[in-house]
Structure 1
Amino acid sequence: MSYKSLLVHLDTSQAAERRLEFAFRLAQRFDAHLNALLTLTRPETGSFYVMAGAAEFIAEHERIARERRESLERAFKATAARTGVTGDWRVSTEYPNDVAPDAARFADLVIAGQFDPNDPESFVANQFLEHLLLEAGRPVLVVPYVGTFASIGTHVVLAWDQSREAARAAADAIPFLAAAKKTTIITLGEQGGEPLGSRLPGTDIGAVIARHGATVDIDERPSVPAAAVGDALLSRAADLGADLIVMGCYGHARWRELVLGGASRTVLKSMTMPVLMSH
């Protein structure tokens, strides 16, 4: 099993070009085809028409978008030529929460960026990552906005709680887990569906992963309150020197918004290494 079709989502943020370079490294690693999707959004003029300087703001936004679009396209074509990676470049002005999940369904792995609160250009659409994670039906590898991550997947941490989402994430991450020098399965909190004390939590999924050639350790952590699971996972992964976290993404629709579970929200906000999430 391998990833043969990758999709990288791009925006006009400062981190976008590093994300593109990251995607090309993965495409080389897995000998995969790489599609790049750049989504462009335009401010709703109706929200600004009474504000002084609105026209100048919109013009500046469009200038930045045009320059970064051209820069990213040049980088994509130049890197494809240099590396021999096959791929397609696409720019869309459609609503990102519609077009990105649709495009993601034709990829084995989707690469997206963490929101940077200090860079307005990293805002793609309202709840963009939530829509992508919950609607794509594909694993999403979220890349932090800080860092270059020249290597990934040398030491993988798999968050395990026996849920459907965690099982999906473990299966989706097999190409990383099988190639890693080490995979640490971290168990936090109660393990549903397994009698208490019957065996070390994580043993069964560890055996499944090991059959793919993975080297597996199990790290049973003390139970923590649900609200602290995300922080505990990030802290332990950092202590272990991991360079990739694999976890299930929990979420549901509630009235007009999508709601992620507490651990998923925490990790997406505070991550310092790439995180592969599956729903």
Structure 2
Amino acid sequence: MSGYGQQQDILDAPYKYLGVIKLNDTSFISYKLAFEEKDGLIQGYSITDAGGPHETKSNIKGSYDSKEKLLVLNEYDIVYTKSPITELDFCLVNFQGRLRALKKGKPFSGNFKGVYPDGKPCLDGQIIMSPLAKVEKRAEKADKLIQKSKKFSQKIKDNVSARTTLDTLSMSVVKKDENLNVFAKTRQVTISIYDAGKVDNDRINLYIDGKLLLKDYAIAKDKKEIPITINDAQVIVKVEAINEGTSAPNTVKVEINDGQRLISTRTSLKTGDHASLTLLKQ
């Protein structure tokens, strides 16, 4: 299997779900799933707290028995996280429950068991998931109702969009003073920076472990590739915004390729702000 948790984006995966994790203390955390299924085996990834301060991407594996209508999903590997804690502290979701028809895009829910990487139990709870396509349709319907309603001012209509909120949840963004911990499979890593949208003269300083590598660099459409060797416990890559171009804010698409998987994120900064990525050998 190709492994959507490694080389492809959530928009490319055959099966995409959006929902929440409900913990036993009644708190809710956003949860996304993207995976492929082949001969009953599942491979893909999950994203917990998308867009939040503890956003974490994990690889998942499992199975689907179409006769028994049984879905099994297990998180097993941390790809990246914004949480400032060690990988051993992560509680991994292990789910087993009923799914009526995987290929017909049915919702599913049920209880999950949380385990640490060493197999010891942690938090348990419930996951409630809906196919992403159906969530998007409901968001588009809600936007149309808001636009047609006379109860809302034009200012509110211009600033409220359920679909835009969904789009925000679909992309990893590192903002002011945030740090994204990326777990690399190898010590040889290539970082690529570029403008994935309209080139608008965004300029940055790029630091590697505190040393200025790129000064007043203009982000272009073409990728700027930077090879990095993780010799020590970690390597810290810091992006500092020099300006906000012709269209604020300053945005830079960043890709980290360790030869086994491609991790994509984006910085979104105002002038003078900075964000970091910490590369750790897994």
Q: TM class by shorter-chain length?
A: 0.3 to 0.5
Normalising to structure 1: TM-score of the pair?
A: 0.32
Structure with the largest fraction of helix:
1
Normalising to structure 2: TM-score of the pair?
A: 0.32
